[in-house]
Amino acid sequence: MNTKLLMRLSALFMAGLGVGASFLPQEIDTHLGGRGDFHAVLILQIAGALYLSFAILNWMAKDVLIGGIYSRPLALGNFFHFAVVSIILLKALAAGSRATEITAAAAIYFLFALWFGRVLFTSPSPST
């Protein structure tokens, strides 16, 4: 299993979200139907910082053996993040939201959750 590819892709995905949420919070809030009020923008910027932190963590750990007991906290944190967000997005879809952004995000998060779940619950091989 290629964990280097997984870590690079997840780092780039989260970096994109983090940069967007950190530097374009008013625009994102408006696009999603908000009014650009102070608290929504503040929460988006905080979420952006969290995404950038996860991106840096994943990028720095891209060459580390991951899976089984190796780097278990890293794999577990990523799995939990992607699994919970995919459940939230799938719940939004089940409630009737048909926004293209939510559908695409749900698919991406679900695939990352599956991939990190596989890494988390299988034994790694040193060649990955």
Per-residue pLDDT tens digits for 12-50? 999 999 999 999 999 999 988 889 899 999 999 999 999
**pLDDT above 90 for 113:** yes
- The predicted pLDDT at position 69 comes to 79
Number of folded domains in the chain?
Answer: 1
- The predicted pLDDT at position 115 comes to 96
Confirm whether 126 is domain-assigned.
Answer: no
- The predicted pLDDT at position 126 comes to 62
Confirm whether 127 is domain-assigned.
Answer: no
Residue 49: domain span: 3-121
Phi, psi at 65, each rounded to 5°: -65, 120
The reported pTM is 0.90
Confirm whether 7 is domain-assigned.
Answer: yes
Phi, psi at 67, each rounded to 5°: 125, 160
Confirm whether 103 is domain-assigned.
Answer: yes
Residue carrying the six token digits 């990523």: 78
